[in-house]
Structures are given as structure tokens and as C-alpha cells.
A = this chain, B = another copy of it.
Amino acid sequence: MDPPSAAFLLAESKNQPMHVGGLQLFEKPEDAGPDFVRELFDLAISSGDEVRPLFLKHPYRSVKTAGQLFWREDEQFDIEHHVRHNALPSPGRIRELLELCSRLHSTRLDWERPLWEAHLIEGLADGRVAMYTKIHHGLVDGISAMRLMQSTLSTNPDDRDMAAPWAKRPAPSRPKPEPETPMAEAARGLAGLPADALRTALGVTAEAAGMPGALIKTLSKGMRNETSTMSLHTPRTMFNRNITSARRFAAQDWPIERLRAIGKATGSTINDVVLAMCGGAIRTYLIEHDALPDAPLVAMVPIGLKAKESHLPSAEGGNAVGAVMARLGTDQADPADRLKAVQKSMKDGKDALKSLTPVQILAMSAIGQAPALLGPALKMQGIIRSPYNLIISNVPGPRSTHYWNGAKLVGNYPLSIPINGMALNITCTSYDGNMGFGLTGCRRTVPHLQRLLTFLDDEIGALEKAAGI
């Protein structure tokens, strides 16, 4: 087992499960019969134990392995344990769906079985079908997991008898790769890098210092004092406390066109607008809880680096990932000022990234790839105060419409990993003209998390108004 996988497994605890998730919403095809979901489920489990190796292995540790973790194939693989058929209670609103996903995301995966689950969910009042999937971060990172789920989708609405993402048998027709945008290209790096570079970065020092030590070393040597991308002057907030095992998930999407228009009118990127929306929503949330600190909150934002900036040979597996510490302008009452603060902070961070050496970039990438590990690593090293308050990721997804057995994918939302000291995570992903926001939090530490959706909606309106749209 490679060091990052082991690290994710070892960082896991009852209150801190280390799996990522995805929620996909589908519209049934017009020719769907009354048993469409049941048939989809039967198709999904029809693979039996003919699943890809990734979906067959589970971690194993014993006296014989001297306590070291290894991967082992599950010889009693039981597809019905992993793929499940669920339903929502009436009235079958999105609220009931999010409540179910919150619960499904709360439970730990069983180490004695392969570390994934997929839940097909029926019962939405509008007739749509949902799929919630979870997979351990020790197997794949969140972005790869999402891509994996998408990999079996088709751009052809007429394809039927399509395999599930875990099945060995390939889907009858795969989507043609789209021409990549710069963002998508960078994002490919997010998934491509860890296989090689991350292992190198972590592996070298892991032997001497152990995995957590390696991470913290790359953090301190690479960046802490040398660049402005790392800030240790973050306020301590209600999000930065220990977490419990229950989760709350909330998700919604907004048209990218609206974000783009704000960006165009204010000279900012779509990502800046996403961050300003988050900053504004968090400000309102914290005011409502009488818990807004004077200093602005800082988000760790993984960003893709172009090949030139990353200094990495392309053979290494695509582009590298950097991490920018972005001030969210939560101290500013005016939405325009917040957006400006975000914009400046992101620009400073990106400039600083350019001055990094290849080794520093590699170190950065390790953190960008494994942000969920940084918290536990910092803790183990006795650094109680994290250099940021939460992680906000924005991962580009496919831009064209995709289908699964004729069912049209109409929504795609990531679920991520809250950790001790970092109880809220926001991950966004684009799909087919929309930006999907997935908010995952500790149910207790971030009460009424779903209120943030309302505040995000308020905030995009306020930004439009401020931009004169």
C-alpha cells in the first residue's frame, strides 16, 4: 500500500470517516416503465463479483504483516452489500434526499470489505432518480472518484444495457473526450498527479519521518515562511472545533452564466465569484450564530497549475496542483468589497505559486491532493491552529449532457470529508452549464448547515446587484 492510502486509512476514526461521496440526479427517459429503477438496480448488481480490482480490495493488517497495512482481495465479495436500493419517504422533496445522503455519508465503511457503496434512490416526487456513491479516500481521491462515476456515462441518450462504474464489462459506448478548457486541463492534473508525483513527494520523506511528519515537513519547508500563500493568522471559528460522527449534507446549483456575468462585470474569475459567494454566505451564517470573528476567514483553495508553472515534465502525469490560501472577506459588509478581497487574495496567492521551486510545487501538490490529511497531520505535530478555516474546492466537470441507460444526468454534487478542526467543507463542480455546490459538515458542529444554501442564493443576487447586472 502506498503512503497516501495508508495515511488516509490511519487518519480514520469513528468521528472522522475518510470517504468521499457523490450525489447524482437523473431524469428518467421518456420510455421508462414503472419498474425503471428496479431494473436499473438489477442491472447495477448484475456484475456480481465481476468488478474492477479497485472495487474488490480491502485493507488488511495483522501480526503476520507486522502491523503494516496491505490491500487484499475480498474473497467473499457480496455485491448486494455494496450496491443498495433505497427510497425516500413522502413527500419526496430534495430535503428528504439530502437528509438520506447526510445519513448515508455519516456511516463508516467496513474495512473487512471493499471500501465503497452505491445507493440507487427512488421516491423523488418529481420522478427523478438519484444515486449516492461513497468511496474511501485511501482508494481514490474525490476528483478521481467523480470521474470514475462519470466514466461509465454516455453522451448518447439511446444507449441502454450500460454497465455500472464498478463492473468489469465496459459500457457499450463511451463518451468522446471533450476538447479541454484550460480549467478542465488543470483539473485533469488533480486526478493525474497523485499516482506518481504525490507518491514521490510523500514517499521520499515518509520513510524517515513517517507519513504525518512528511506532510508537515513539506508544509513548513516548502511554504510556511517563504511564500505568502500560507497564512497562519486565521481566526478561530465555530467550524474549527472537534467533530462528531454525524454529517449534514446540502447541495444546490446555480447557472454558470450568472457567475460568468458577475465575473465579466467585475474583472474576476468564475472561481473568485464562487469564493465570494461562499464568503458572503458564511458571513451571514456566522452573524446568525453570533460567531463572526473580526478577522476574515481563510479558505484553502486547491488550484490547477499549468505545465510551465509546475516545472514538472508532462510524463509525470499531467499538471500539478497548488494550494492558495484565500481570504474570504467575511469582515466586509459590502458584497463588492468581499469580491475584491477574494480577488486580491487569489491573485497574490497565484503570484506566489509562480515563484515556487519544483520541490515546493511537489510539496504543494501533496497538500492540494490530500487536504483532508493536513488537519490530522498538523494536529499530530502539536500545531493546534490550522492555517485555514475550511477547504473550498472547485472542480470542473463535463460540459455536455450525459446519460446512464437513457436517464439524463441533471445534477452532480460532491460530498467531502469534514475533519477535526475543520467541520465544514465546500466542494463545487460544474456540469452542463450549472455550478453544483456540495456542502458537507459535521451535523453538530455546523448546525442548520442547509441554511447556507439560502445564504448562497442571497449572495449571488447581492453580487449581481453590486455588479450592476
Q: Which residues on the B side are within 8 Å of A234 (C-beta)?
A: none
Query: With the chains together, A107 CA to B246 CA distance in Å?
Result: 12
Could you give, for residues 59-92 of chain A, a 1 whenever the CB lies within 8 Å of some chain B CB and a 0 otherwise?
0000000000000000010100100111111110
Query: Are A87 and B88 in contact (CB-based, < 8 A)?
Result: yes
Query: Are A244 and B90 in contact (CB-based, < 8 A)?
Result: no
Query: Are B84 and A87 in contact (CB-based, < 8 A)?
Result: no
> Does A113 touch B at the CB level, under 8 Å?
yes
Query: With the chains together, A231 CA to B120 CA distance in Å?
Result: 48
Query: With the chains together, A90 CA to B39 CA distance in Å?
Result: 11
> Does A122 touch B at the CB level, under 8 Å?
yes
Query: With the chains together, A361 CA to B112 CA distance in Å?
Result: 40
Could you give, for residues 32-47 of chain A, a 1 whenever the CB lies within 8 Å of some chain B CB and a 0 otherwise?
0001011001000000
State how many copies of this chain the complex holds. 2
Query: Are A87 and B244 in contact (CB-based, < 8 A)?
Result: no
> Does A245 touch B at the CB level, under 8 Å?
yes
Query: With the chains together, A443 CA to B112 CA distance in Å?
Result: 12
A76-133 residues with Cβ-Cβ distance < 8 A to B are 76, 78, 81, 84-91, 96, 99, 103, 107-108, 110, 112-113, 120, 122-123
Q: Which residues on the B side are within 8 Å of A245 (C-beta)?
A: 110, 112
Query: Are B81 and A443 in contact (CB-based, < 8 A)?
Result: yes
Q: Which residues on the B side are within 8 Å of A88 (C-beta)?
A: 87
Query: With the chains together, A443 CA to B81 CA distance in Å?
Result: 9
Query: With the chains together, A35 CA to B41 CA distance in Å?
Result: 28
Q: Which residues on the B side are within 8 Å of A86 (C-beta)?
A: 89
Query: With the chains together, A88 CA to B84 CA distance in Å?
Result: 11
> Does A385 touch B at the CB level, under 8 Å?
no
Taking the closest CB of chain B, its distance from the CB of A77, in whole angstroms, is 11
Query: With the chains together, A174 CA to B88 CA distance in Å?
Result: 33
> Does A241 touch B at the CB level, under 8 Å?
no
Identify A246's interface contact among B90, B110, B244, CB under 8 A. Answer: B110
Q: Which residues on the B side are within 8 Å of A110 (C-beta)?
A: 244-246
> Does A444 touch B at the CB level, under 8 Å?
yes
Query: Are B246 and A113 in contact (CB-based, < 8 A)?
Result: yes
Query: With the chains together, A87 CA to B107 CA distance in Å?
Result: 18
Identify A91's interface contact among B14, B38, B91, B108, CB under 8 A. Answer: B38
Identify A444's interface contact among B37, B76, B89, CB under 8 A. Answer: B76
Query: Are A38 and B113 in contact (CB-based, < 8 A)?
Result: no
A218-265 residues with Cβ-Cβ distance < 8 A to B are 244-246
Decide yes or no: A244 and B89 within 8 Å by CB, A76-B444, A444-B76 being known contacts. no
Nearest-neighbor residue (CB-CB) of A100 within chain B: B86
Query: Are B444 and A90 in contact (CB-based, < 8 A)?
Result: no
Decide yes or no: A37 and B87 within 8 Å by CB, A110-B245, A246-B113 being known contacts. no
Decide yes or no: A123 and B87 within 8 Å by CB, A112-B444, A444-B76, A444-B112 being known contacts. yes
Q: Which residues on the B side are within 8 Å of A113 (C-beta)?
A: 244, 246, 444
Query: With the chains together, A66 CA to B14 CA distance in Å?
Result: 22
Nearest-neighbor residue (CB-CB) of A109 within chain B: B245
Nearest-neighbor residue (CB-CB) of A244 within chain B: B112
Query: With the chains together, A87 CA to B113 CA distance in Å?
Result: 26
Query: Are A89 and B37 in contact (CB-based, < 8 A)?
Result: yes
Query: Are B89 and A87 in contact (CB-based, < 8 A)?
Result: yes
Query: With the chains together, A89 CA to B42 CA distance in Å?
Result: 13
Identify A38's interface contact among B89, B244, B447, CB under 8 A. Answer: B89
Q: Which residues on the B side are within 8 Å of A122 (C-beta)?
A: 89-90
Taking the closest CB of chain B, its distance from the CB of A441, in whole angstroms, is 14
Identify A107's interface contact among B15, B41, B107, B443, CB under 8 A. Answer: B107
Taking the closest CB of chain B, its distance from the CB of A416, in whole angstroms, is 20
Q: Which residues on the B side are within 8 Å of A14 (C-beta)?
A: 14, 108
Q: Which residues on the B side are within 8 Å of A41 (C-beta)?
A: 89
Query: With the chains together, A106 CA to B85 CA distance in Å?
Result: 16
- Residue pairs across A and B with Cβ atoms less than 8 A apart, 10 shown, are A14-B14, A38-B89, A41-B89, A76-B444, A81-B443, A84-B99, A87-B88, A87-B90, A89-B120, A112-B444
Q: A84-B103, A110-B244, A112-B244 are in contact. List 14 more A-B contacts (CB 8 A).
A: A37-B89, A38-B90, A38-B91, A76-B447, A78-B443, A87-B87, A87-B88, A87-B89, A89-B122, A89-B123, A90-B122, A110-B246, A112-B444, A113-B246
10 pairs of A and B residues whose beta carbons are closest in the complex = A87-B87, A87-B89, A85-B89, A112-B244, A110-B245, A107-B107, A89-B122, A87-B123, A87-B88, A38-B90
